Structure 1
């Protein structure tokens, strides 16, 4: 069974409450976007990238900006 995750823009708590009430279930999770910024904030650039790859499957930033929410498979 595929689980869906509805991510709601942090600045829209009322939208989170509404979407959680309407769609929150065993198969649909509703969460607030927890991203703050990229993790590396050093003033000196690193010489090599130690992570294998970006783990995010799909960038939801555009959907969050345009609609206030994004839907992804989890």
Structure 2
């Protein structure tokens, strides 16, 4: 069974509380977006990045900026 993750922007604690109360269940987890910014900036001391792609599946930023929340399957 797939689970849903409802991510709410940190600037809206009231929305987070409402979503948590209304939608939180065994299949839905409501969390606050904890991302601050990209950690890697400019030149890195590490020579070779072996990852083929970003670990993030989908960029949530547009939904978070537009709606204040985003829903993802995990």
Query: Structure 1 length normalisation: TM-score?
Result: 0.87
CA separation in 2, counterparts of 1:57 and 1:50? 17
- Indicate the residue corresponding to 2:67 in structure 1: 67
Structure 2: 5+ residue stretches without partners: none
CA distance in 1, matches of 2:25, 2:17: 13
Following superposition, the deviation at residue 63 of structure 1 comes to: 0.3
**Which segment drifts farther, 59-68 or 49-58?**
49-58
Secondary structure, counterpart of 2:53 in structure 1 = coil
Instruction: Please give the root-mean-square deviation of Cα atoms over the aligned residues, in Å.
Output: 1.5
Q: How many residues align?
A: 72
| Partner of residue 27, structure 1 | 27
Q: TM-score, normalised by structure 2?
A: 0.87
Is the aligned partner of 1:16 residue 2:16? yes
Q: Which runs of 5+ in 1 are unaligned?
A: none
